[in-house]
Structure 1
Amino acid sequence: MMSAIIVFIVQLAYVPILTLRTIMMVKGLKERAAFMGLLEGIVYVVALGLVFSDLSNYYNMIAYALGFAAGLYVGAIIEEKLAIGYVTFEVNIPNRNQELIDRLRELGFSVSTSAVEGMTSTRYQLDCTARRDREKEFIRVVTEYEPAAFIVSFEPRSFKGGYITKAMKRRREKYLKKKNAEQV
Structure 2
Amino acid sequence: MGLNPILLVFIIFTISIVYVTLSTVRMILMMKGYRYLAAALSVLEVIINILGLGLVLENISQIQNLISYAAGFGAGIIVGSVIEDKLTLGYVTASVVSPENSDKLSKQLREKGYGVTDWETNGHEGKRRSLQILTPKKHELKLYQTIKELEPQAFVVANDSKTIHGGFWIRTIKRGRLFNS
**TM-score, normalised by the number of residues in structure 2:** 0.86
Give identity over the alignment, percent: 35
What letter corresponds to residue 16 of structure 1 in structure 2?
Answer: T
* Corresponding residue of 1:182: none
Aligned with 2:81 (options 40, 54, 76)? 76
Moved beyond 3 Å, runs of 4+:
96-99, 163-168
Write the distance in 2 (CA, Å) between the matches of 1:61 and 1:104.
Answer: 53
Corresponding residue of 2:179: none
Q: Which residues of structure 1 form unaligned runs of 5+?
A: 173-184
Counterpart for residue 150 of structure 2: 145
Q: Is the 8 A contact 2:10 2:68 kept in 1?
A: yes
Which residue does the alignment assign to 2:136?
131
Q: Where is the helix percentage greater, Structure 1 or Structure 2? A: 1
- Are residue 38 (structure 1) and residue 35 (structure 2) matched? no
Structure 2 unmatched ranges of 5 or more: 177-181
How much has 1:57 moved relative to structure 2?
Answer: 1.6
Show the counterpart of 1:166: 171
Q: Residues 141 and 157 (structure 1 numbering): CA distance in 2 closer, same or farther, change over 3 Å?
A: same
Which aligned pairs between 1:85-124 and structure 2 lie closer than 5 A?
85-124=90-129
Residues 142 and 17 of structure 1: CA distance in aligned 2, closer, same or farther (over 3 Å): same
Task: Give matches, 1:48-63, under 5 Å.
Answer: 48-63=53-68
In structure 2, how many angstroms separate the alpha carbons of the residues matched to 1:90 and 1:63?
A: 45
Q: 1:96 to 1:117 in 2, by over 3 A?
A: closer
Root-mean-square deviation (CA, aligned residues, Å) is: 1.8
